[in-house]
Each structure stands twice: as structure tokens, then as C-alpha cells.
Amino acid sequence: MGTIFSQIVDGDIPARIVYEDETTVAFLDANPLAPGHTLVIPKEEYEQLNDVPDDVASDLYAVIHELVPIVEDSVDADASTVAFNNGEAAGQEVPHVHCHIVPRFEGDGGGPIHAVAGDRPDLSDGELDEIAETIESRA
């Protein structure tokens, strides 16, 4: 049996599907952080972002790009937080890549994405240079 999201894709468990095409589906989160909280997933099961093939990733991003303003407008949101929990250590519970579109409202009491990580590291210029060089050399 696949992930709970694959079961939604297969129609085996119900969901409030708001968008569907050949490769991608979007549905309302069952435990929403805000009205309109929507999840966008590739229909095929990939655990993390780095597992998603290029063409599927392009399709996924195109749908996110299209849906964000629609979701915001549909619930009269002022903004949205759009994010992936990418891996268990980052809080991912369902091992099937999914993008959260969380509508945000002035004064909703939530925080920015900067609030999701733990204690900020105190990195020297040398350490920052080294990290940047490592990433750049692999990109």
C-alpha cells in the first residue's frame, strides 16, 4: 500500500481535491493551519524533493505557481507561506513530497519562515565562504 497521499490519488480515501492534472494533484489539508491550507503533490510517490525527476518537479512548481494566488484570493488572505518539510528532521511526516500553501492573514499570530529552524549558528566569514564555495561547486 502506498502513502496516505497515494491513496488519495487513487481515490481510495476521500479528500477535498481542488486541482488535478496528469502529474499533479492538490487538496485541502485535513488539519489546516489556516482556512484554505492546501497541499500540492506529484501523483507519483517520491519521498523528498531530491527524488523528484526534473519534468515532474517542473509540473509541480507550475501548479504551485498557479494555485498560490487562487488559494489566497479564495479565502481573502493577505499573503501565504509556501513551503516543503523536506525530510523527517525538518518535520516531514508523510513520506510523499508535498508543498504546503498556508494562507496568512494580518495579525494571525504566526511567524515568518525564519522561525522554523532551531538556534541560529554563529558562523564566521570563513565558514560562510566555505559553505558557499561547497554549494557553488556542486550546483
Cβ neighbors of 16 (< 8 A, separation 6 or more) are 27, 28
CA 55 to chain centre: 17
Region near ligand AMP per CB under 6 A, out of 60-68, 86-94, 101-109, 122-130? 86-94
Each residue 89-118 as x (binds ligand AMP by CB under 6 A) or -, in order, gives --xxxx------------------------
Q: Say which of 37, 65, 96, 98 is annotated catalytic.
A: 98
How big is the site for ligand AMP, counted in residues (CB under 6 A)? Answer: 13
Cβ partners under 8 Å of residue 57, min gap 6? 49
- E strand or H helix at 128, and its extent? helix 125-138
DSSP 8-state secondary structure symbol assigned to residue 120:
P
Phi/psi class of residue 90: alpha, beta or left (left: φ > 0; alpha: ψ in -120 to 50)? Answer: alpha
For cell 502506498, the residue is 2
Between residues 27 and 63, which has the closer beta carbon with respect to ligand AMP?
27
Write out the binding residues for ligand AMP, residues 16-55 only, by CB under 6 A. Answer: 27, 29-31, 39
Q: Which is nearer to ligand AMP, 113 or 135 (CB)?
A: 113
Residue 4 contacts ligand AMP per CB under 6 A: yes
Q: For this structure, is 37 an active site residue?
A: no
Catalytic residues: 98
Residues near ligand AMP (CB under 6 A): 4, 13, 15, 27, 29-31, 39, 85, 91-94
